[in-house]
Amino acid sequence: MDVKDVLAKYSKKIGNEMNSENKQDVSGVSRDYQKFKQELLPEFSRYERWVKTFGKMIKLKVSAKDDKIIRKKLQTAHLEVEPGEVVGFALMSFIILMFLGTLLTTGIWFIEGTTLLEYPVFFLFLILVMSMFVFYYFYILRYADPI
């Protein structure tokens, strides 16, 4: 191996390293901020874990208008989730609450031993209203609005 081979080998290696450092981050966030965020913030909040888990079960495409609004609120809250995952989580929370509410209502009806005409429809309606509120709450992300 002569000097030219060594120079060519290491100059190519150094050039590749310099090119990788010069590439800009397409997310618009500096490396210093990403490092700061990694050190300061916990790994994932409970909300982020739930959204990631349930958002993958139901993949929903969000309209461009809603995507823009939700993405802005997620950035304000410094949450690392996608708008489609948020909507999927909101829908899954609605479905789970409705299912559990229906089971509870039917269980109460069976325990009381009443006829079909005495089924607790009003209680089931309250469960529906509560489920819709939870869906709305998780879909809108009210707590992420700036004050």
* 69 Cβ contact list (under 8 Å, min separation 6): none
Q: Is 29 in the same domain as 53?
A: no
pLDDT of 17-75, one tens digit each?
A: 766 555 555 566 788 877 877 777 666 678 888 888 888 888 788 889 888 888 888 88
Give the model's pLDDT for residue 6.
Answer: 76
Q: Is 72 in the same domain as 119?
A: yes
Phi, psi (rounded to 5 degrees) for 96: -65, -45
d(CA 126, CA 7): 77
Q: Is 27 in the same domain as 78?
A: no
- CA-based torsion, 38, 79, 71, 86: positive or negative: positive
- CA-based torsion, 22, 41, 60, 144: positive or negative: negative
Structural domain range at position 126: 42-144
Q: How many domains does the chain have?
A: 2
Give the model's pLDDT for residue 147.
Answer: 42
Count CA within 13 A, CB hemisphere, residue 86: 25
pLDDT of 106-141, one tens digit each?
A: 888 888 888 877 888 888 899 999 999 988 887 776
d(CA 84, CA 54): 11
Q: Is 27 in the same domain as 63?
A: no
Does the pLDDT of residue 83 top 60, yes or no?
A: yes
Nearest by Cα to 95 from 50, 128, 126, 120: 128
Lookup: tokens for 76: 């304000």
